Structure 1
Amino acid sequence: MQTIDKPLRDLDNNLFDTTIHRRKTRPVKVGNVTVGGNNPVVVQSMINEDTLDVDASVAAIRRLHEIGCEIVRVTVPSLAHAKAVGEIKAKLAQTYQPVPLVADVHHNGMKIALEVAKHVDKVRINPGLYVFEKPSSDRTSYSAEEFAQIGEKIKETLEPLVVSLREQGKAMRIGVNHGSLSERMLFTYGDTPEGMVESALEFIKICESLDFRNLVISMKASRVPVMLAAYRLMVKRMDELGMDYPLHLGVTEAGDGEYGRIKSTAGIGTLLAEGIGDTIRVSLTEAPEKEIPVCYSILQALGLRKTMVEYVACPSCGRTLFNLEEVLHQVREATKHLTGLDIAVMGCIVNGPGEMADADYGYVGKQPGYISLYRGREEIKKVPETEGVKELINLIKADGKWVDP
């Protein structure tokens, strides 16, 4: 009979490591926010107002920023839009405060990008659309010479923008989308994560040849398995090439409602748990403000940021001594404005103290009609159920951890 000489924990310590070890990346400044390095994962969103409507755009950006969105993207489909962004930036500074802005530039956007680069902190370009490659109906492949020729055309078109951003100390996001790979990449690599990665690397190498490295990279797809594969391959190739650029994570076109949130969490959360990702956006077909709570919930669940109360609550069973769903709602409504606390709401004594051992405060049903309040593992007092929430607040106040809503 075979015996095990060492405990399992000695064989592979990684199995017991509960810390997420983030991939080391270079810091890239976007206005007054820094993406990458040792900085927290940054939350982004995008307004859906027409950028030509300066007042509406300013109001939308402000709404997002006030609820925690740290970088805001605007679309810039024309030169007029690019100039309007200058007015938006100025009005934000005059009426609110500077907000890090990113301009989305597509479709032969060199002139647009050069104009908007004066006004924003980062320009996002899509390699599949930045230089339009006219498709040919009878083409079956690209020769190496044709591939290289288009690569030179891309460099010629991209260089003025790179030089402008470099001289201004601003940033660029090379944002590859699975659904908009260029024909050249599709013929050469197929509709694959490899094609996405090679598309990004082509643009990265052009930037590096011009001594510009204020880059953030994204590899978005609407299908989670494709998105995961693309980011993982991107990291592998960057590691092989000695690149340390931060990554912006997102599942593009995730949809709306519960499924849109689950889909985004499946993609973004999986990569963050692997240590991949420096900034995120949850792309919902809803008001942009709805995206921000989802971002923070993902980050908090993984222990990457603490921006709200963490509630620990059992699922309820026949042993539960009060209406757990209702009481959890009452506790949440009374304390949800606090930050940095863990509060447990447990229905009975069987699992209560053990399951909530890591919580700052506990609210436990010990006997019918009464609630036991805990500070950490210590039971502080037993109070009537009708006074439970009020007494929990008093306990938090007594510890100096309460702030008024």
Structure 2
Amino acid sequence: MQTLPVADRFAYSNLGTDTTIHRRKTRPVAIGSVIIGGNNPVVVQSMINEDTLDIDGAVAGIRRLHEIGCEIVRVTVPSMAHARALAEIKQKLIDTYQIVPLVADVHHNGMKIALEVAKHVDKVRINPGLYVFEKPKPDRTEYTPTEFAEIGEQIRDMLEPLVVSLRNQNKAMRIGVNHGSLAERMLFTYGDTPEGMVESALECIRICQSFDFHNLVVSMKASRVPVMLAAYRLLAQRMDKAGMDYPIHLGVTEAGDGEYGRIKSTAGIATLLAEGIGDTLRVSLTEAPEKEIPVCYSILQSLGLRKTMVEYVACPSCGRTLFNLEEVLHQVREATKHLTGLDIAVMGCIVNGPGEMADADYGYVGKTPGYISLYRGRDEIERVPEAEGVAKLIALIKADDRWVDP
């Protein structure tokens, strides 16, 4: 059987036979109390949209995200004042809530800002395409190897203070390459391509390695899913070939909002996770940041990478269905959605029900009009009137000591 292309140090699942996701082997990188990579679960991130100068608003935004499961929170620091405000934000979190792992975005050539913010956060995210401004030359025919190397040395000199500061504080950096903001020489040499994105990241990684700094996470974000997929796959292959075991941050940037934004993000992120690529993720929606977290966990749960909620198995309904399946599924979900680690099946009839729900912890199956059968695993426990079905399901879960009150 033909297998998918593989990077040297990890393998995709063999088509049709292996149901296990084989994650790429990466080094653990600490972001405060949260570890990205290694054998740790895939980490969920998001970003507040409050102005960092609004101390109370920023603290409230960080807390809202953290309370619903966001494990690392990012903030933006466009000025020195914003960087200094992070000291107050961090202290207020400690005083009124708890320590939350924080990441700061430094989007442009602002080394003083980056050095200040590095004192107050656990990770600094930089975009290597924005660190040396190269004005396009209309008559340029090439970048000579000497020119290319000289600009690389400029970037190395510019990044050195930040790299050394983060290294000495045992903090982390995300090398966040964006498809839409590649440096001029990368665009000229490689075009607006995944190759240019990967070369930009590898250059920055090598700079960090030259200062013996390895607390790195790398991302290859693009707004088009095929570009994002190609860039991340190439990054994983190139890093593995070079012996670089750095964790990867996944995301489709500027995915939009609503159903399409969620589908677009899932198409990119879930595809790579299924191939073993990815150690942390953010779903970027043009909505309140809190709306991103359920999508992240749904992606991870559907792939079996994390189990943070009930997994519901339900048939699509057909002419054999013996009750209002949509309504009953809603009732079961509302009664049990606060639980974690359970699989609950709601099946409309006996034809496929027991077989399709064989791996579920509990089953709710229509057998005869007006009655449903409750299952524990593969075993039928009792047949009860449909009106009592949800209450009896809850009683069964309680009897097994797997119930917790909402």
- The TM tier, using the shorter chain, reads over 0.9
Count of aligned pairs between the two proteins: 394
Q: Give the AA of the match of 1:75.
A: T
Query: What's the CA shift string for 1:54-113, capped at 9, x where partnerless?
Result: 100000000000000000000011111000011111111111000000000011121110
**Cα distance between partner residues in 1 of 2:131 and 2:344:** 49
Verify: 1:359 aligned to 2:360, yes or no.
yes
Of stretches 376-385 and 133-142 in structure 1, the one that deviates more from structure 2 is 133-142
Q: Cα offset for 1:138?
A: 3.7
TM-superposed deviation, 1:148: 1.1
Q: Which amino acid aligns with 2:219?
A: S
TM-score (norm 1): 0.96
Measure the CA separation in 1 of the matches of 2:224 and 2:244: 26
SS at match of 1:195: helix
Report the Cα distance in structure 2 between the residues aligned to 1:14 and 1:139, rounded to whole angstroms.
47
- The residue aligned with 1:188 is 189
In structure 1, the partner of 2:84 is 83
Matches within 5 A, 1:82-101: 82-101=83-102
The one-letter code matched in structure 1 to 2:310 is V
Q: Which amino acid is the alignment partner of residue 184 of structure 2?
A: E
Partner of 1:125: 126
Secondary structure of 1:325's counterpart equals helix
- Deviation of 1:14 after TM superposition, in Å, equals 6.1
What per-residue deviation string (whole Å, max 9, x for no partner) do you get for residues 127-186 of structure 1? 111232233344343222111111111001000000000000000000000000011100
Letter in 1 for 2:367: K
| Helix, strand or coil at the partner of 1:25 | coil
In structure 2, how many angstroms separate the alpha carbons of the residues matched to 1:183 and 1:309? 48
* Aligned residue type for 1:110: M
| Counterpart in the other structure of 1:30 | 31
Aligned-partner Cα distance in 2 for 1:84–1:132: 27
Alignment correspondent of 1:282: 283
How do 1:243-282 residues align onto structure 2 when only pairs under 5 Å count? 243-282=244-283
Shift of 1:239: 1.2
Aligned match of 2:9: none
Please list the CA deviations of residues 10-42 of structure 1 after superposition, one character each: whole Å capped at 9, or x if unmatched. Answer: xx9764111101000000000000000000000
Gaps of 5+ in 2: 1-12
Q: Amino acid of the residue matched to residue 99 of structure 2?
A: P
1:355–1:182 distance in 2 versus 1, CA, 3 Å:
same
Instruction: Say whether residues 1:233 and 2:238 are aligned partners.
Output: no
Q: State the AA in 1 paired with 2:253.
A: T
Q: Distance in 2 between matches of 1:72 and 1:13?
A: 36
Moved over 2 A (4+): 12-15, 130-141
Post-superposition Cα deviations, 1:204-248, rounded to whole Å, max 9, x if no partner, equal 000000000000000000000000000010011111111100000
Give the SS at the match of 2:220: strand
Aligned letter for 1:213? Answer: H
Counterpart residue identity of residue 153, structure 2: E
Residue in structure 1 matched with residue 404 of structure 2 by the alignment: 403
CA distance in 2, matches of 1:271, 1:215: 19
Post-superposition CA distance 1:304-349 (Å, at most 9, x none): 0000000000000000000000000000000000000000000001
RMSD: 1.0
CA distance in 1, matches of 2:122, 2:279: 17
Aligned-partner Cα distance in 2 for 1:142–1:352: 65
SS in 1 for 2:401: coil
Structure 1 unmatched runs, 5+: 1-11
In structure 2, the partner of 1:63 is: 64
Q: Which residue of 2 aligns with 1:376?
A: 377
Aligned to 1:144: 145
Classify the secondary structure of the residue corresponding to 2:380.
Answer: strand
Task: Work out the percentage of aligned pairs sharing the same amino acid.
Answer: 85
**Mapped contact 1:140–1:187 kept (Cα < 8 A):** no
Find the counterpart in structure 2 of residue 8 from structure 1.
Answer: none
The whole-number CA distance in structure 1 between the counterparts of 2:68 and 2:50 is: 18
Whether the 8 Å CA contact 1:107–1:132 is kept in 2: the answer is: no
Q: 1:157 to 1:260 in 2, by over 3 A?
A: same
Q: Distance in 2 between matches of 1:131 and 1:49?
A: 28
Which range moves more in the overlay, 353-362 or 123-132? 123-132
Letter in 2 for 1:278: D
Residues 262-297 of structure 1: per-residue CA shift (max 9 Å, x gap): 000000000000000000000000000000000000
Does the 8 Å contact 1:76/1:103 carry over to 2?
Answer: yes
User: Structure 2: how far apart are the matches of 1:133 and 1:307?
Assistant: 46
The aligned residue for residue 207 of structure 1 is 208
What's the counterpart of residue 329 of structure 2?
Answer: 328
In structure 2, how many angstroms separate the alpha carbons of the residues matched to 1:130 and 1:397? 58
